[in-house]
Amino acid sequence: MKENLRTFAILLIGGLAVWFFTQRNHSRSSPSLRNPAPVLAETARPAEQTFRVRSPLTAARSGFDAEVTTRSGGLRSLRLNGAQFAMRDAPLDPRTGQRGSDPRMNLASTWNEDILSLRTELTVKRGEGTVVPPYVDYTGRQVSEREVELTWTGNEIEVVRKYRSDRPFTMEVETTVHNLGGPINVEARVPVYQWVLRADENGKFFQRPWQVGEGICRHGTELYREGRDKLLERRPEDALPGAATFASLGNTYFELAVVPRGDNGEARCRLFAEDRGPDDEPLGSVYGASVGWARTSLATGESKTFQATVYLGPKEPDTLAAVTPDKRLTDTVNLGFFSFIARQLLRFLRFLHSIVGNWGAAIMLLTLCIRVALLPLLAKSMKSMAMMAKLKPELDEINTRLADNPEAKTLATMELYRKNGVNPLSGCFPQLAQLPIWWALYTTLQTSVELFHAPFVFWWHDLSAPDPYYVLPLVLGAIMFLQQKLMPPQGMDPVQAKMMTYFFPIFLTGISLFLPSGLALYMLVNSCLGVLQQWYTKKQMDQYKSGTGTGGGEAIQVKTLTGDNRG
């Protein structure tokens, strides 16, 4: 048994080391970003023009600079303003594979005309013929710094698209179809697209990259939240059932969401993903989401306007809540099963940050505050553990003497507990009651965009990225080892106890090597506080055992059970 455990530990540590150095070497090489999709023919098309829509800035919120192209009216780029969203290196231009000169994060990550976010997706038919081509070239007008108007005319149809931003990270998109000829049928959709490289989709050992995409759609009371594998099974033309209230694409920290507006009838949601790379060189996936409206008929001279509010920015709960009166986009933030606890912890974390001005210090204070708040539960658990330790000699005597009579052993044990007023489960309940809080805190720190590029001290310049020098994970492993030595596991055989003492700290260190620094910091502070609490618990338990502590019960003398008692 010992040899098997030792072999398993050696193989695990060796595997981690090999994988770690492989990943370091792999990360140094930039993936080839050649265009995997066919480029549309440029013959006889007018020159492309672009116009800018700037999202307003406030004291508390930054915004974006959007570049709208006349090619199908889509987004060529959407760069987030503010120091928090500046990347260490300028993003790669997927069309050339070269890095640009603008380090701001670009949420418009697709480049082919057929997958440009917010591009025109209209199906207009007169009789059996389609009168608006799938790719159109608009003429544009810069109305103001915050508004652009695009117009296309042909086949007795005029299409006018307006883009306007009057709130941070939010854009109003209107598509108006004017019918200048015979009766037509119109269908309209507003799409968003996102590109995720395969290296980011695959992730790292024990780490889910924040870039990994998902599609989300709410219609009625149902919320669809689907990852790549599920989305690959869907076709772009298949709409989910029911009236949609929003459709979005997102990752851990950022969101591209479309919310239908106006009296346009029932809107439908579409979600899908598609592998755009060749089989022998998969470069990544395109994720798509759109809100579409049911077919409408227009007589000669009639017009129809399709309206949508589009959110393009970070998953900040307050900013998302301000997009619509019913705060529906807050559903896109995935805080896990204990979200009702996580939301309160996030509010308190922000409050602490407003005092100390540093997210790392706020995490440390939040962990300390939770530990203090849970002290009553800890005291109850500690008292139960001390009582159990005091009764251990009697329990051992019962287990030895009545080893061949399980029923009598159970009765004698329960009588011992009764006379001393001990509930053997009372030590477990306080521990279980704490689990939802600690799990909610873990989820909060894993998904909070506030930690994205947030500096702490020294070399910790980004609390959403792993520790570059692995100091936090190594110190965490040492603290966990000390914690196991201070309070060794009870009720285990020597091999299991050694497994917990040595293997568990090594395993936790291996995991935390790839966790965000904010999470590793929380685990380290929590472990340090746990060591202090366990030291105090051990001290109290020693007092109980020596008879100098408080509590306990009357001395117990276990009577020898007769044959009648044994049944």
Residue for token pair 């996102």: 194
Which is more confidently placed, 100 or 302? Answer: 302
Residue 18 lies in a domain: no
Q: What's the pLDDT band for 198 if we cut at 50, 70, 90?
A: confident
Residue 511 lies in a domain: no
pLDDT tens track for 58-103: 656 678 999 999 999 999 999 998 877 877 777 666 556 667 777 8
- Please give the average per-residue pLDDT across 461-484, as a whole number: 79
pLDDT tens track for 215-264: 999 887 788 888 888 888 888 778 887 788 899 998 888 999 999 987 76
Domain-ending residue, one of 306, 334, 362? 334
pLDDT at 327 over 80: yes
Nearest to 270 by CA among 225, 235, 312: 235
Collapsing DSSP to helix, strand or coil, 42 comes out as coil
Residue 472 lies in a domain: no
Residue for token pair 């890095």: 99
Containing H/E element for 399? helix 392-401
Collapsing DSSP to helix, strand or coil, 408 comes out as helix
Residue 557 lies in a domain: no
Residue 491 lies in a domain: no
- CA dihedral 28→213→341→528, nearest 10 degrees, is -10
Number of domains comprising the chain: 2
Residues 401 and 522 reside in one and the same domain? yes
Written as one letter, the residue type at 152 is W
What distance in Å separates the CA atoms of residue 122 and residue 134, rounded to the nearest whole number? Answer: 7
Helical ranges in 421-548 per DSSP H: 428-447, 471-486, 494-498, 504-512, 517-546
Residues 180 and 285 reside in one and the same domain? yes
Residues 291 and 312 reside in one and the same domain? yes
Nearest to 261 by CA among 115, 124, 162: 162
Written as one letter, the residue type at 456 is F
pLDDT at 149 over 90: yes
Residues 405 and 307 reside in one and the same domain? no
DSSP secondary structure code for residue 137 in this structure: B
CA dihedral sign of residues 121, 125, 128, 130: negative
Residues 101 and 130 reside in one and the same domain? yes
Structural domain harbouring 374: 343-465+516-546
Residues 203 and 296 reside in one and the same domain? yes
The dihedral region occupied by 552, where left means phi > 0, alpha psi between -120 and 50, and beta the remainder, is left
Residues 75 and 190 reside in one and the same domain? yes
Domain-ending residue, one of 308, 334, 360? 334
Could you tell me if 326 and 286 are in contact, meaning their C-beta atoms sit under 8 angstroms apart? Answer: no
Which pLDDT score is estimated for 509? 76
Q: Which long-range contacts (CB under 8 A, 24 or more apart) does 519-523 make?
A: 519/442, 519/445, 519/446, 520/466, 520/467, 520/472, 520/473, 520/476, 521/360, 521/363, 521/364, 521/456, 521/460, 521/463, 521/472, 522/363, 522/367, 522/441, 522/442, 522/445, 523/476
- CA dihedral 92→93→95→97, nearest 10 degrees, is -40
Lowest mean pLDDT segment, chosen from 255-264, 289-298, 427-436, 455-464 = 427-436
- Please give the average per-residue pLDDT across 447-453, as a whole number: 82
DSSP secondary structure code for residue 204 in this structure: B
Which pLDDT score is estimated for 422? 67
Could you tell me if 33 and 94 are in contact, meaning their C-beta atoms sit under 8 angstroms apart? Answer: yes
What distance in Å separates the CA atoms of residue 271 and residue 312, rounded to the nearest whole number? Answer: 17
- CATH number where 231 lies: 2.70.98.90
Query: Average per-residue pLDDT in the chain?
Result: 77
What distance in Å separates the CA atoms of residue 323 and residue 168, rounded to the nearest whole number? Answer: 9
CA 280 from centroid of its chain's CA atoms = 30
Written as one letter, the residue type at 252 is T
Residue 270 lies in a domain: yes
Residues 87 and 157 reside in one and the same domain? yes
DSSP secondary structure code for residue 106 in this structure: B
Q: What's the pLDDT band for 118 if we cut at 50, 70, 90?
A: very high
Residues 312 and 428 reside in one and the same domain? no
Written as one letter, the residue type at 543 is Q
Residues 415 and 329 reside in one and the same domain? no
Residue 203 lies in a domain: yes
Phi first, then psi: give them for residue 141, nearest 5 degrees: -145, 125
Residues 309 and 347 reside in one and the same domain? no
Residue 539 lies in a domain: yes
What distance in Å separates the CA atoms of residue 458 and residue 556, rounded to the nearest whole number? Answer: 58
Buried b vs exposed e over 347-362: b needs ≥16 C-beta within 10 Å? ebbeebbeeeebbbbb
**CB neighbour class for 127 (10 Å; exposed up to 12, middle 13-18, buried from 19):** exposed
Domain-ending residue, one of 272, 300, 334? 334
pLDDT tens track for 14-64: 544 444 444 433 333 333 333 444 445 555 788 999 999 999 876 566 789
Nearest to 304 by CA among 294, 319, 316, 315: 294
Residues 292 and 428 reside in one and the same domain? no
